Amino acid sequence: MNDLLLKIVTRMNKRLAITVLGIAVCIMYLVGTSILIQGLDVGTAEVGSLTQKGFYIVFDENTLSESRLDSSEIDRWPGVYSTGTMLPVTVEVDGGATLDTFLMVVDDDDNLIGLGEVQLSTEVLPGIDLDIPRGSSINLTWAQGSMPTRATQDFNPYSSQIFSDDMILASRSLGEIIQPDIIGKVSFVILPAENYEAIAIARDAGYHVKQSVGMLDFFEQGVNQVEADLWGLVGISAVIIILMVYSILSIEIQFRTPEIRIIKYLGLGPRDVLCLFLIQAAYLGLLGGLIGASLGIVIANSLTSVAPMFGLKSMIYPAVSFTSLGIPLALSVGASIIGGFYPAYKASCTSVRGMREVL
Amino acid sequence: MLLKKEAFLWITLCSILFCASIPVLVGVSLGPTSIFSSPDIVVLTQSSRDTPLDVNLAYGLGEQDFITNVSPEIYAFTSTVNAHTGVEEPILVRGVLPESFLELERGYVFSGNYYSNESFILLGEVLSERLGYGVGDRMTITGSLNPAFFEVTVTGIYRAETSVDDEMLVPLDLSRKMAGLTTNSILSIRIRTTDYGALNSYLIQNILNVDIGGGDSGTGTNGGTTDGNTSYEQEVAQDLALKYFKPSHLNETSDSFISTFIQKGSGSIGIVITGFIVLNAVLIFMGISSIFLRGLIERRHDLGVLSAIGASKLNIQILLFKDILLMSLLATGIGVTVGVATAYFISESNLLLAFGHVVRPIINLDLVLIMVAASMAIAVSSGVLGTAWQLSKAPQDLIHGRDVLQPEGDMDGLVSLLEVSS
């Protein structure tokens, strides 16, 4: 009896071959598009690996000035790093005009951002854009209200390519006088790109970890956005696949009504018939899925290979992964079972009364 | 009607999915070019990274009679935290002279303001809503090609009702730092002109005479010789190629990152989108075919009766073709209407994003006509194919369902099944 059932499940004729082909086209669509999307991702990463990454900046709120990380936690991070603390302040120069800016306290002992040599005590170092003359007397007030703190400007103003030139650099002790809440806290941590361990710790802790060269983040996140859009479209298409498998298997079950009557006449119950046809639906789905997956890989590679012949530059490196193969294959089998359920149920209800006509 | 009405519902669903996806897919593929240009704007860009444009060229252009608007610009690609979700999102930062840019884009600041060419951070209306930042809010951004980080305060929100509503405008100096450019360097000049010929002549003359930086190599647009030869004119014309939306016209050896971004970006996305459209059409064809086939098989008895009482194959074919045509026409009509409405809804609700910009599905008469033609062609051809296959059976076989009982080799199958079971 097992031989009979196996033969029914694995039997192949022209109609079944067309059914498998139909499923294969659907899966070719899904696998092909998944590979192209994954390929866009790989291409972006490839371009990213060739570009300088600069350093990473770690913070915990939406903005640096609001961010407050625990210094004692940061001290346990491995490797080289620098830290900084930002405070919004109001500046009064020589008792005259006031302006709103940020006070930045930087601990850059390893000179990651070029401030390793700067030693400040009660003096401040304003940015060149603030246009504060050397020797000026400066009153600093925390933007959210505090007693003014006096400082002097005894250095030439700074000009940096790393951060804006409209802030005021100060020593940590001065910063803590203006806003005591920053004691034991820092706003951000600068990590060199090679400090993988600390970068991983920061990511695991749920902090924002940004590359200082934003173009890489821009493209990675941009591709992710495109990916999300296209997966949405693939999802819509999956509905059509279910519909198609349902239609094709309905036809197939209808064609095989005599065969169903025979096996029921031989003693199989409705539940056995239901299982039998569900297994066959899954088998057809798997077979169609495997053929479709192979065709999808070929189509995706062909499209990217042919594109340069039409003057299209591309950074797609077709990539086969568990996601691009596993999900469409699972969908193929799942959709086939869903699509095949109603026809299989109808088959299980087939009466054996017509047997005389069949034979 | 010979075909069941249930088939019509499924065909309509397929048509809706097809017609809703096409405007979105075309919108995604045109994204990169729409960021930098529009049909009436000429974009002058650097021809290589070593020969950046000089902002003085833009100032000079601004004084010409044939120039309506001119905007010197620097693009910086970075990311920032979405205040609503706390997730990083890509953002295009454009270094501009605010007044020139807003005049060119016919935009205006409706909340807050810009105070000078050096002191402003303006957010596009769509970006401001999506990221959750308003006037007075602070944002953290990093450099684009240059390692850097900045905390900026939003000074105003602008509206232009184009794709630039998804961007952040900053002073040229700040964007130079982000992009790692030297003083006076810019990446592009966007121009609206009343006389393209005069503009071309001006550019050929003035780029030759003005030292725009890095110009001693003797090659490239800005370092060309003064003989005004044809190849040089071609180079200038090439710099204007973006106007015509044909990225392939740009110099293939150019390492300008704008041209690279547009060529590679639009090329890559174009490949994916073309793949999607082709496979989408094949899938819809298969879906509709299977629906028609199923409908015809369910009606094969009626088809056999019609044939037996004297209807010729041609008569039945005409009858079925009328059904198919009517169904396809109605399904296409509903499909295009609902599909376009869905695309419009997607456009209005800013649901889809690509590279920090909302995807604007393309809805125009040309595309609607193409969709109608494609949808009709797919539906009718798949229906005709199924009809031809079904009508190849003899009438008596159709009436008795004998095509079901005794298709090729199936009796052998039944016999073999019985042999195994016995």
Q: Domain spans of chain B?
A: 5-30+264-391, 39-244
Separation of alpha carbons A123 and B152, rounded Å:
25
In angstroms, the CA A197 to CA A220 distance is: 21
Considering only CB atoms, A4 lies closest to which of B271, B284, B417, namely: B417
- Residues A274 and A242 placed together within one structural domain of the fold: yes
Give the number of other CB atoms < 10 A from CB of residue B2. 16
Q: B373 CB contacts (<8 Å, ≥6 apart)?
A: none
Lowest mean pLDDT among A40-49, B261-270, B315-324: B261-270
Q: How confident is the model at residue B266 (pLDDT cuts 50, 70, 90)?
A: low
Residues 143-172 of A with CB under 8 A from B: 161-164
Q: Does pLDDT of A225 surpass 70? A: yes
What digits encode the pLDDT tens for the residues A136-175?
788 887 766 666 677 776 677 778 878 888 888 888 888 8
Out of A73-87, A253-267, B39-53, least confident range: B39-53
Residues A171 and A228 in one domain: no
* Contact yes or no for A303 and B14 at CB 8 A: no
| Closest C-alpha to A220, from A52, A40, A51 | A40
Q: Do B280 and A29 touch (CB under 8 A)?
A: yes
A26 lies in the same domain as A72: no
Q: Write the pLDDT tens digit of every residue in A297-345.
A: 888 888 777 766 765 556 667 777 777 788 888 888 887 788 778 877 8
- Between the two ends of chain A, the Cα-to-Cα distance in Å is 20
A54 touches chain B (CB under 8 A): yes
Taking residues A127-136, report their average pLDDT. 81
- For residue B175, the chain A residue with the least C-alpha distance is A164
**According to the model, what pLDDT value does residue B333 have?**
92
Q: Could you say which of A163, A183, A212 is where a domain stops? A: A212
Question: Which of chain A's residues have a Cβ under 8 Å away from the Cβ of B272?
Answer: 33, 36-37, 40, 226, 230, 316
Q: Do B147 and A259 touch (CB under 8 A)?
A: no
Identify whether residues A41 and A83 lie together within a single domain: no
**Nearest-by-Cβ selection for A236 from B21, B88, B298:** B21
Q: Which residues of B touch A12 (CB under 8 A)?
A: none
Higher pLDDT: B259 or B370? It is: B370
Which of A208, A214, A233 lies nearest to residue B78, judging by beta carbons?
A: A214
Torsion, Cα of B75, A202, B133, A227 (10° steps): 60
3-state secondary structure of B52: coil
User: How many pairs of residues across A and B have Cβ atoms under 8 Å apart?
Assistant: 256
Q: Which pLDDT band holds residue B172 (cuts at 50, 70, 90)?
A: very high
Residue B212: pLDDT above 70? no
Write the single-letter amino acid at B312: S
pLDDT at B94: 94
Question: Which residues of B, range 184-243, sit inside 8 Å of A by Cβ?
Answer: none
Total domains present in chain A: 2
Q: Hey, how many other C-beta atoms are within 10 angstroms of the C-beta on A65?
A: 23
Of B142, B174, B270, the CB nearest to A164: B174
The contacts of residue B246 (CB under 8 Å, 6+ apart) are none
Does residue B407 surpass a pLDDT of 70?
no
Residues in B touching A215 (Cβ below 8 Å): 77-78, 144-145
Question: Nearest Cβ partner of A7 from B272, B355, B417?
Answer: B417
For B174, the closest chain A residue by CA position comes to A164
Residue type, B382: S
Name the β-bridge partners of A186: A69
Mark whether A97 and A129 lie in a shared domain. yes
Per cent of chain B over pLDDT 70 is: 72
C-alpha triplet A17, A18, A22: angle, nearest 5°: 120
Lowest mean pLDDT among A217-226, A227-236, B44-53, B86-95: B44-53
pLDDT, residue A243, reads: 72
Looking at A179-183, B4-8, B171-175, which range is the least confident one?
A: B4-8
User: Which of A62, A212, A313 comes nearest B264 by C-beta?
Assistant: A313
Query: Does one domain contain both A186 and A129?
Result: yes
Say if CB B30 and CB B268 are below 8 A apart.
no
Q: Answer whether B276 sits within 8 Å of A233, measured CB to CB.
A: yes
Residues A88 and A234 grouped into a single domain: no
If contacts are CB pairs under 8 Å, which of residues 61-80 in chain B contact chain A?
76-79
Cα–Cα distance for residue pair B273/A226, rounded to 1 Å = 11
Domain span holding position A87:
58-212
Distance from CA of A298 to the nearest CA of B (A): 12
- CB distance B144–A7 less than 8 Å? no
Q: Which of A108-122, A281-295, B234-248, B374-388 has the highest mean pLDDT?
A: A281-295
B352 and A232 within 8 Å at the Cβ level: the answer is yes
Please state, in angstroms and rounded to a whole number, the distance separating the CA atoms of residues B177 and B183.
Answer: 9
Instruction: Name, in order, each residue with C-beta under 8 angstroms of A81's C-beta and a sequence gap of 6 or more.
Output: A74, A110, A112, A189, A190, A191, A192, A195, A198
Query: Within an 8 Å CB–CB cutoff, is residue A200 touching chain B?
Result: no
Least confident of A25-34, B217-226, B281-290: B217-226
| For range A217-235, the mean pLDDT | 75
Range 56-95 of A in CB contact (< 8 A) with B: 57, 59, 62-66, 86
Nearest to B169 by CA among B60, B292, B275, B72: B72
Q: Which of A32, A213, A232 sits opposite B279 (nearest CB)?
A: A32
- Residue in B180, B297, B355 nearest the CB of A251: B297
Question: How far is the alpha carbon of B419 from chain A, nearest alpha carbon, in Å?
Answer: 9
Q: Is the pLDDT of residue B415 over 60?
A: no
Same domain, A145 and A175: yes
In this complex, the residue of A62, A214, A251 whose CB is nearest that of residue B293 is: A251
Same domain, A8 and A111: no
Q: Which of A178, A212, A246 represents a domain boundary (last residue)? A: A212
Q: Nearest CA to CA, how far is B248 from chain A (Å)?
A: 6
Closest CA to A163 of B174, B193, B11: B174
List of residues 6+ apart from B237 with CB closer than 8 A: B200
Q: What is the pLDDT of residue A260?
A: 76
pLDDT, mean over chain A: 79
Which pLDDT does position A16 carry in this prediction? 72
pLDDT confidence band for B223 (50 / 70 / 90): very low
Please list, in sequence order, all residues whose beta carbon lies within 8 angstroms of the beta carbon of residue A160, skipping any fewer than 6 positions away. A113, A114, A127
Together in a domain, A195 and A222: no
Q: Which residue of chain A has the CA closest to B145?
A: A213
pLDDT-derived band at B251 (thresholds 50, 70, 90) equals: very low
Which residue(s) pair with A209 in the sheet?
A58
Most confident of A27-31, A145-149, A176-180, B95-99: B95-99
Q: How confident is the model at residue B249 (pLDDT cuts 50, 70, 90)?
A: very low
How does residue B221 score in pLDDT terms, banded at 50, 70 and 90?
Answer: very low
Whole-angstrom Cα distance, residue A287 to residue B265? 36
Note whether B76 and B187 are within 8 A (CB): no
Contacts of B13 in chain A (CB under 8 A): 239-240, 243
* pLDDT given at position A137: 80
Among A188, A212, A236, the domain boundary falls at A212
Q: Can you say how many angstroms the Cα of residue A341 is from the centroid of all Cα atoms in its chain?
A: 35
What pLDDT, in 10s, does the model give residues B36-70? Answer: 667 677 777 765 555 667 888 889 888 999 889 99
Q: Does B407 touch chain A if contact means CB atoms closer than 8 Å?
A: yes
From chain B, pick out residues whose CB is under 8 angstroms from the CB of A4: 417, 420-421
pLDDT for B157 beyond 90: yes
Same domain, A13 and A103: no
Does the distance separating the beta carbons of B271 and A36 come in below 8 Å? yes
Position B386 pLDDT exceeds 80: no
**Percent of chain A beyond pLDDT 70?**
83
Write down the pLDDT at residue B171: 93
ipTM greater than 0.90: no
pLDDT tens-digit series, residues B312-357: 878 888 888 888 888 889 989 999 999 889 888 887 887 888 778 8
CA atoms within 13 A on the CB side of A250: 18
